């Protein structure tokens, strides 16, 4: 099993240095992902979802354990693990086309000029952005920017596509459109995808497996939920599907009962006080 897995996280943990000593953000994260699998990471804010993603991307170095991609250790960023950033991160001085082209030029060096051009256009088409190819990021909407961001990531022909809350900043309608697009693209290209999300519906609708993270510090994987819904999935059909609703309930249960974080104001205060006392006693 371990040999055949595409992407493998073993005992991954990370400490961040702080003035008060190292802070353990993640601990013992074990995850094996198959080729073509769509994985969602879900959890409360600050639980270290993004840290996991950044470690896979190579932007962070794990303190303990490690990541293997096709049995090769990951220790630096690279285009085979393309990232779609939360706030699109397009170069604001380049048009949509040029943004994608930059990635193509950098990662597809074997292609001729003409092929590169076609590849850029192909990826823009994939995200339905051909019409705005020459627009600057400041001239297009948030959803369109995110589409270009996805096109840029796809253009790198990544083995794993990492998406850090790709639709977090978008309105509900745009988000739905983009989710559909991502499903289409996933169906067409069969990429391995790791996506971070806050949104339970999004996680259930898109994923093959939902990885639910416990709260930090020293966050780790709480539960893993297999979403056994046939593809292609249709959001309206799913809404009435009891299986879908069951998965949804499972995730909600995990988040709001097992890893309850939304406290009443008083509880919050009390907790804060004790945690402060703990901290100060720790220091002492």
Partner 1 sequence: MNKQQTVPSIVNQVKNVQWPSFNTILSTAGLPIVGIVIFLGLWSMMAKNIDTSLGQFPGPAAVWQQANVLVDEHNAQMDKADKFYQRQDERNAARVAKDPTYQPKIRAFTGAPTFFEQIWTSLYTVMVGFVVASLIAIPVGIMCGLSKNAYTAINPLIQLFKPVSPLAWLPLVTMVVSAVYVSTDPMFSKSFITSAVTVALCCLWPTLINTAVGVSSIDKDLLNVSKVLRLNALSHVTTIVLPSSIPAIFTGLRLSLGIGWMVLIAAEMLAQNPGLGKFVWDEFQNGSSESLARIMVAVLTIGLIGFILDRLMLTVQRKVSWDKTAVLR
Q: Which residues bind partner 1 (CB under 8 A)?
A: 57-59, 76-79, 81-83, 85-87, 89, 91-93, 102-103, 106-107, 136, 138, 156
CB of 59 to partner 1, least distance (A): 6
Min dist CB 156 to partner 1, Å, is 8
| 275 phi/psi in degrees, rounded to 5 | -65, -35
Instruction: Between 84 and 200, name the residue whose CB sits nearer to partner 1.
Output: 84
Closest approach of Cβ 145 to partner 1, in Å?
Answer: 12
CB of 61 or CB of 275, closer to partner 1: 61
Q: Which is nearer to partner 1, 80 or 199 (CB)?
A: 80
Question: Least CB distance from residue 94 to partner 1, whole Å?
Answer: 8
Cβ distance to partner 1 smaller for residue 58 or 216: 58
Residue 7 or 221: which CB sits closer to partner 1? 7
Nearer to partner 1, 76 or 263 (CB): 76
Whole-number minimum distance, CB 250 to partner 1, in Å?
Answer: 33
DSSP 3-state assignment of 177?
helix
Euclidean distance between the first and final Cα of the chain, in Å? 47
Smallest separation, CB 70 to partner 1 (Å): 18
CB 147 within 8 Å of CB 180: no
Task: Tell me how far the alpha carbon of residue 147 is from its chain's centroid.
Answer: 15
Q: What CA–CA distances, in Å, run from 57 to 67, 161, 195? A: 10, 9, 12
Distance CA 9, CA 194 (A): 12
Helices (H) and strands (E) in the chain, counts: 9, 10
- Residues 163, 122: contact at Cβ < 8 Å? no
Least distance (Å) from partner 1 to the CB of residue 83? 5
Return the structure tokens found at 163. Answer: 């998406």
Q: Of the two residues 52 and 221, which places its CB atom closer to partner 1 in the complex?
A: 52
CA distances from 164 to 65, 84, 265 (A): 22, 6, 30
Angle subtended at Cα 39 by Cα 107 and Cα 43, rounded to the nearest 5 degrees: 115
Would you call the peptide bond into 115 cis, given omega within 30 degrees of 0 as the criterion? no
């Amino acid at each position: 099993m371990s040999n055949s897995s595409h992407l493998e996280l073993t005992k991954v943990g990370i400490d961040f240095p702080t003035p008060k000593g190292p802070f353990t953000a993640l601990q013992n994260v074990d995850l094996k992902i198959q080729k073509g699998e769509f994985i969602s990471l879900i959890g409360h804010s600050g639980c270290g979802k993004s840290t996991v993603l950044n470690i896979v991307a190579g932007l962070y170095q794990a303190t303990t354990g490690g990541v293997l991609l096709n049995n090769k250790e990951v220790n630096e960023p690279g285009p085979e693990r393309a990232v779609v950033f939360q706030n699109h991160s397009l170069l604001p001085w380049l048009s949509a086309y040029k943004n994608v082209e930059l990635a193509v030029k950098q990662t597809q060096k074997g292609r001729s000029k003409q092929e590169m051009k076609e590849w850029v256009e192909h990826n823009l088409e994939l995200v339905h952005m051909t019409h705005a190819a020459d627009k600057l990021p400041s001239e297009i909407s948030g959803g369109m920017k995110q589409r270009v961001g996805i096109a840029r990531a796809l253009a790198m022909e990544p083995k794993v596509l990492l998406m850090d809350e790709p639709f977090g900043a978008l309105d509900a309608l745009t988000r739905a459109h983009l989710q559909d697009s991502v499903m289409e693209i996933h169906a067409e290209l069969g990429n391995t995808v790791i996506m971070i999300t806050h949104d339970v519906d999004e996680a259930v609708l898109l994923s093959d497996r939902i990885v639910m993270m416990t709260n930090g510090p020293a966050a780790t994987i709480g539960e893993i939920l297999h979403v056994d819904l046939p593809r292609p999935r249709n959001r309206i059909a799913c809404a009435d599907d009891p299986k879908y609703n069951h998965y949804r309930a499972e995730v909600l249960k995990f988040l709001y009962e097992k890893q309850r974080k939304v406290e009443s104001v008083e509880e919050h205060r009390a907790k804060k006080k004790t945690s402060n006392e703990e901290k100060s006693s720790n220091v002492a």
